[in-house]
Structure 1
Amino acid sequence: MGKIVNSFRNFVTGRPMQLAMREWRIMGKWRGPLSAVAFGALLGVTGPFGSQTALGPAVRYPFWMVIALVGFGAAAAAGRVLSSTSPGSRTAIRIVAVAAASAVPMTFFVAWAIGVVRPGRSFSPVQLLALFPYVALVQLLIARVISPDDQMIVAAPVEQPAAAPEYPPEFVSKLPAALRRDILALEAEDHYVRVHTLHGSSLVLMRLADAAALIDPRLGLRVHRSWWVAKDGVRAVERTPGRAIARLVDDTAVPISRTYLSAARTVLTD
């Protein structure tokens, strides 16, 4: 018994099991009998439980293919039972549960199968308990193989922050280089727009309505038939008897008409 368990421990913790796990990750898309036969063939090559020396190839390969087929069946049955009793369980937890549940009958089956191919070999209750964790590790690998890919836990996609809004090039290119930043407001002057910035102002040949339509609405809004203000350029919205104004950071008072007052309050005071 000690030789069998030690041999299986070396299989589980050593290079053969690592190679097996790598193979099954690659073959993860295959399910059912084909996976069981392939897994049984791999067990036949590695020869756990001392079967490499105790059994000839003609017996060893069929032996492990039968073990693998029964293991896949036990895992599939356990998976169906657990799906009906705990449908909302996380996939990783469910795989471990399937492996543990299916390892119970598989421990007895493996002990029985060893007795068949090695007459006279038997397992006491204590030896069965020692055998269980190694069978459970194999069943864990089988449970992972038969687990549907669409149930595997996937890292949540990281949302990219929205790009900061910018003034359109066709608008800012009309301004002197020194005035292409820190825009506070636009003021209509006949067929021109006066662009107010922290660094001065400049006239642009463009209607206010056209300029406001070009600019990303996240940057500001129209507050008067003659004024558009930048959201970042407003220090406060003030009410006085009969009028409302947007107080810019340079202390300029921009009138807010009744038409735009509700929108201005929502956008400029949030």
Structure 2
Amino acid sequence: MNDSPLRLAMRDLQQVFSRPSPWVILGAVIVAAGLSGPFGTLHSLGFGARLIYWAVIGLVTLFSGWLFSQWTVIALMRRGAARIVQWLVGSAVVAVIVALEVGVVNLVAFGISPLSPGEIGDLLLSTTPIALLITAAFSLGYGGSDAPPATVAPPVAGTQAGPLPRLLARLPLDKRGALLSLSVQDHYVDVVTTRGHEMLLMRLSDAIAETEGCAGLQVHRSHWVALDQVRAARREGARGVLTLSDGREIPVSRTYLPDAKKAGLL
């Protein structure tokens, strides 16, 4: 995947908000804010106006915060920045963007200039904690929390009946075949099964942790393979190459060569 960070962020945003849970949470927050009237809106706006105000604030800042958080984290991730750097820089970007947006909304709703003395500082103080929480979700690795933790599925081609590896529960039903391999593609993991492949937004280490029940081995910092899907193996200098049942070749790096030998692959 060679898409730009912005393109990836927009695609992830669409994926996240195609689920019902973010909308339910947003709706609950808007109603709660409309009833409680935080930040002085209880006395300055009527109930209907408060609902509209917080709906606008919620929609605008949530979408932009999510988008800019992902965009920044993905860009920094590609440059090999540490997670703490991703978190802090992403949070700073989101805090400034959200503060400006809230300032514009306040200008329209109350006539308060976002450039008035103390206004920018007050806005940054209130938006920074929210920005830290939003960005933490991505700098620490978003793993698709809406996926069920485990499932018992009917038999599909290439699998046995009974409990499946938890990772397969994240895949569409028509792609839940026997696991072949996991490969890193930017900040995604390409999950390949006997029924196709699916890109999941998660870390490779988290994906491997959800393959229990399927004997496999990490053979490269970017690759994991199911042992029963290896059809051939060969040495190429200081590394190895595995041929899987679908004909693809997966490299074995020097670091993981001893593990591959111990598993009887080389």
TM-score (norm 1): 0.38
Higher RCO, 1 vs 2 (CA within 8 Å, ≥6 residues apart): 1
Larger Rg: 1
TM-score (norm 2): 0.39
